[in-house]
Each structure stands twice: as structure tokens, then as C-alpha cells.
Structure 1
Amino acid sequence: MNAAPLPFLPDAVIFDMDGLMLDSERAITDCMERAAAEAGHALPRSLWLSLVGTGEQACREILAARLGEPGAMAMLDRTDVLYEAMVEAGIPHRPGIVGLLEWLQARGIPRAVATSTRRPLALRKLRRAGLLERFDAVCTSSDVEQPKPAPDVYLLAAKRLGVAPARCLVLEDSPAGVRAALAAGMLPVQVPDLVEPDAALRKLGHRIVPSLAQAQALLEAAAGACRLAP
């Protein structure tokens, strides 16, 4: 893990959603595995993990290459049915998210969501989880031309918050999200969930912490350094 001190207290913090704030990466992966098994497809766990953090179109293309277009579409349709039931029940929070959001709000630091999920589903998931009202902006793959790892959704979030990208800190769990944040010129802190960063990702030199509580500790230290500065 790389938990070097932050170089500054950010003017805004932008959050990924799935796997970072909500335990939805695990939920959707379980749904895909179940749908594949029901259809008689024996696919490795590594395939599902490779889809974490990618956009919907990329997922469809990867699965179509393995199963053919009809098989992939049928499996994804069944996945949607299974996942819809989980969304309606309310996807659990990742540990530490509420405390971190409260800390930022108390200090007047703007907050946005930047997610690869389509807008209607993203809003519903955040609302059902009781998190929607804690954000100043929600940016989704519906709002941009290119999903992560392209920087589009992060640049849009900065624009909507009125903050320069270089002054934004991004919290991400996935490799695609980290690359998107770096491409946007932002400061990423990765909190891995299902996928641990490999050697190639670690070479990017970004900060990696084991939990949102550790990410909050970095922010608290940066805030303390600001108070001590002459």
C-alpha cells in the first residue's frame, strides 16, 4: 500500500460508486456468476473480476467474445433481473462511507459522484442507500461520450462542482477508475475492493489504502497541515 501524505487538502472530492461506496461490485459479480451457471456457462472467476469498473458496453463486448452475442445478451438480461431485486432491497454501504461524507460536509468540501453506471440506475441505487442527498453532483456514463478509463466523467464532475481538475481528489476502487482519474489530471486514492492493484497499476505511483477510514485519515492529516501552515 502507498499511503504517502496528500500534497494538499483538495477543493473537492469525487467518489466512484460501485465497490467504493456501495458493496455492489460483489453483488453484480454474484448475479453474473449465477446467471451464467443457470445458462450452463462455466466461466472463470477471473473473467468476472476483469469486468469490475468497466462500462456496460465493454462488459457486453467481452462477454459476447466468450459466449457469442445471443448467449451474452441472454445472460446479461437474466443478470439484470437478479440484480434488480438486490437494488430494490438496498445495496449495503462499504465500511466508512457515511463517516467520511459527514466529515467532508462539515468542512464544506464539495462532493460528487462519477460512476460508470447509467443515470437512472445510479440515482436509484444512491437514493435507496440513503446517500443521494449527500452529494452536490452526480455524473454517470449516461452523461458522457466515453466511460472509464477515459477521463470524461471525472472532468464533467469537476466542471459541475466548479473546481479545477488538479484540485480534485478522487476515491476509486477499480483500475479503470484510477486510470480515468489520472487521465483527468486529478489526485486518485485507490481503496481496492474485489480487485487488488497489479504491478502495472502500482507503477503509476498513486496512493493505495486498505479502507475508506484510511482515506479519511489522509484527508484529516492534510487538513491539519493546512491549519499549521503560516
Structure 2
Amino acid sequence: MVSTKLSLPKTRLLPTIATTLVSNGDRFFVPIMTDAVIWDCDGVLVDSEKLSCSAWLPVLRRRGIEVDLADIEVFIGRSDQAVLDHYRQAGYPLADEILLEREQEYYTTARERLTSFAGLREVLDDLCLADVPVAVASSGGMDRIRFSIELVGITRYFSVICSASEVAKGKPAPDLFLLAAARLGVAPTDCTVIEDSIPGVEAAIAAGMTAIGFTSTHPREVLESAGAEVTFDTYSELWPMLEKKN
């Protein structure tokens, strides 16, 4: 993605809508005006979707459930409870303790392999310089969210962290993003959400927020069909898309 401006200001503060036009392939659009940015965690802040899905495999297989990665990937963007409920409804008498077992599988693998995405820190730094508040709102449990962002060294950017365990309904319901907006003290319509999943994009739209899709998990067409305003492939493309609203 490129901007029609020859260069950004040295401070890289949010670009001015009157002088900037952003190109995404063969389409052009003005930057998205926002007062806050809300981030999903898995697949957006940290490159963890496959690690997270893979953690289910040994846990379920130990209980005689034949499952492969594709069977779990359909739940990307939803909570671990949704996976558990699915297999219970399929007739498997799974106890709640399986969730803790699955978490331990994830932690073991993540300690060796979890990374953040290239260019993410630069965007977070720029948002901080521009005084744009940010939050994490993830379908994962609070312990896992904190573990992930601490492991990759980005905890300091986020004063607001929200987990699906804190709301009545997870994504694609809007509850989680509405909670994040309330804690930030920003109106939902003034928030922009960065998401990689279909349920996440749908939740952002249901909350009255603008959704930007990150193609780490799904292609552009899938995310835009779900309601994403625009998509990006790398974090170097995200910065020109944003403009501070107030």
C-alpha cells in the first residue's frame, strides 16, 4: 500500500485528510478518522492463530476425538468456550477442566514460538505520539492475553485490556468491543477496530465501529465481505489509513 503524499512528516503524526489519499491496489480512499484503536490479540498483535488452534489437537485427541487443524480453525475469532460447547453438543462429555489443559498446551508452545508482527511496534509508537488511546479486546482469556502481549513486549502500550470472559456474549456479538470503548471513555462510533477474523469484523460492525481487516488469517475479499472498511497485509500499510478525529 502506498500514499499519494511524497512523504509523511518527520514526526509521523496522523496524516491530514485534505492532503492525503491512500491507495489499496486499484482503489483509493481517504484515511479513516478515529479517536481510539481497539485491537484483537491473536492474529493481530501476535502471530498466534495456528499456535492457538494447534493447542486443541492433543487435548481432544487424548479423549478419542479425531480432529485436525482445519476442524479448529473454523472457530478463529471465537472463544475457547465456543470450541468446548461445539464438541459437547456433538456428544462428547468434556469437562470444563479441558480449557485449562488446552491453555497449558498453548503456553508451552508459545514460549518458544510466539512473535509479534513486523512493524506493529512502530504503529503503536506512532499512535502513542499522536495521543490516540488503544485497547486490546480479545476472545481469549485474560491470563492468555496478558501472557501473549507480555511475552512479545508490548504490554506497556495498553492501559485497557478486555477479555470475552468479562461479557455475556463473545464475538460476533458487540459486547466485547463496547466494553473496550466504555473503558477507554470513547464513543463506539469514534473507535476503529483492527481484526483478522470474520466474527471479529462482524462484532465491530455490530458495535457501530469501523473495522479494518488484517489479512494474516483471511484474504481481503473475505474480510471486506464481512464488513471491513479496508484491509492491509503488513503493518507498514496500516499507518496511512488512520487519521485522528478530535
Q: Tell me how far 1:213 sits from its aligned partner.
A: 2.4
- Amino acid in structure 2 at the alignment position of 1:27: L
Range that drifts further, 2-11 or 87-96: 2-11
The TM-score normalised by the length of structure 1 is 0.83
Amino acid aligned to 2:179: L
So what's the TM-score if we normalise by structure 2?
0.78
Q: Which residue, out of 20, 33, 40, partners 2:57?
A: 33
Q: Hey, which of these two has a bigger chunk of helix by percent?
A: 1
How big is the alpha-carbon RMSD for the aligned residues of Structure 1 and Structure 2? Answer: 2.8
C-alpha displacement at 1:189, in angstroms? 0.3
The correspondence for 1:114, drawn from 134, 137, 157, is 137
**Range with greater deviation from structure 2 (72-81 or 148-157):** 72-81
Cα deviation for residue 183 of structure 1 reads 0.5
- Could you say if the C-alpha distance between residues 67 and 147 of structure 1 is closer, same or farther in structure 2, counting changes exceeding 3 Å? same
CA distance in structure 2 between the partners assigned to 1:48 and 1:205 by the alignment = 23
Which amino acid in structure 1 is aligned with residue 235 of structure 2? L
Q: Which residue of 1 aligns with 2:75?
A: 51
User: Against the structure 1 CA distance between its residues 13 and 205, is the aligned structure 2 distance closer, same or farther, given a 3 Å change threshold?
Assistant: closer
Q: Find the partner of 1:147 among 163, 167, 170.
A: 170
The CA deviation at 1:172 is 0.4
Shift of 1:111: 0.6
Structure 2 unmatched runs, 5+:
1-23
Mapping for residues 25-174 of structure 1, pairs under 5 Å: 25-37=49-61, 41-66=65-90, 68-70=92-94, 78-89=101-112, 91-174=114-197
Contact 2:213 2:223 (8 Å CA) reproduced: no
Q: Deviations over 1:37-61 (max 9, x none)?
A: 5555432443211111101221111
Given that 1:35 and 1:76 are in contact with CA atoms closer than 8 Å, whether structure 2 keeps it comes out as no
Gaps of 5+ in 1: none
Structure with the higher fraction of residues in strand conformation: 2
Letter in 1 for 2:193: V
